[in-house]
A and B are shown apart, each in its own frame.
Chain A
């Protein structure tokens, strides 16, 4: 190894070139071993490829190779109209599709000077929190899978279906609702949805207790996650790590509370959970608490749901006036932002999509240096990324 102070992967270009075109999975080089995980590997959660250089059992350097899911959203957005783009950006972070739509639509609304009516804002908040539950719930189960516990994964899939049913009941789409319109929502909530939602929230709370009973305090789980993969808060912020990953490092920063006020968050009471440790366990614990907090928020929102219309007055053909806007929200995976540049046409001139997982994963070369090979999997699991959110 040449240097240690610069981030990234420090092999010489010729060797890296060989790795890029590697046809075999394992190569031997100067006593260190290069191990290639992925792009399609059960432990990499999709199509992330990770090239790690090992010295015995210890990782000397790691280099994530991304782009296997790069679909060119930013370019395609320049060729679509605003209503068409909401269809597209559903699929960035495919586990919390609804939460992806909200910042884009609210950005377009800010440019147009339109504000969605209160009821639409509250329903948006409810569905955002539901998609947060659906996203994190899968994590809570899969994190058990990383350390060899199969049962929580099945629980995660089972109870997640209940939340998906709610989203489907309200929006018509199980995965990609495409429910937001510029100026409001497509439909109102169906009859009976609210009582069903309350019942489901009770089940989710009970599911969280189950996860906690099985994993937190479990000796194997604690041994595999405590003190593993520690992200210092300051460094994490400089890398752009956000969301629960940053809050698990003791940084008390949540855009729902601290950012520009959006949706109905200023009007409800919730706690932002942090954990001082910054290790894999802290990330699990913070997400567990966030799920419970989300349930609390949904119940509050259901209690205070205002009446009224769900759609503001917008022109039939959406033309967004000239301007630039930066919108950022707290998505289940972290900070999601859009920098929309409009030139007064029916489509944006440029959309910069700031997705959470991209920055969350960019810390991996630093984070994986010096850890053992089995911990690579738990650390990657605990960071919790979605490939579409990395590659866009």
Chain B
């Protein structure tokens, strides 16, 4: 370990298409709100990613909405939303008080509704739109636009036409064709790909024989799914030319580094914040210390630097 006192600081900024982030750490949609400002100064983050909004007010799913698992959790919150009016009149002015770029996550049941919402959130103060085309709770049996390349391309084409803002697509690990879906999103004009959302799962209480979620199925998140998200990040970063943002089970500095070495330009931290609300603040500091100690001048120097296994015959 080099002497940190005498090490010049590393530039922690990363470029996501046309958007410059002060550092690669940002929250994952659905695990972040103004409530976290009780714990640390939210402006130390690279970006602010809001919980998915939908056009109309929705109550969300029945409780229990979460259950605890080894290495993570399941959730079926169901996107409770106060609707577009509340976003425009209340949330947007609040977030305008911060300097970190604001990323607005949107979703809808139909392409028409999706495109309309995309146009409606294209507002001053919004730095980028993250299209949640992968939330597994929305449609029956966990189906989502991002399950297939054709539906991904159709919906992303509509969204691309609806906004001039940077447009990110949040992909799902539930598809068998992650690279094809990613290429379809890129072809339709996505400026970045967020890899990935939660994995559809289920848990049963053996004593009552009831599912442990009110919605029966839900999204698995946390350290247990990290290898899946990391594998997809690697596959997609190799196949696509737009920036990839890694997301899935990141809780430590080395987790974040793994995703960046696999090809991600930035990372989103979600479930770890539920266990430790200060985790993102720690990651920003630890990543910066690590980069300086490694003698990097820019954190971007580590992106996609994964090497071939040394291997050998057994």
Same complex origin of A and B? no
Interface residues of A (CB under 8 A from B): none
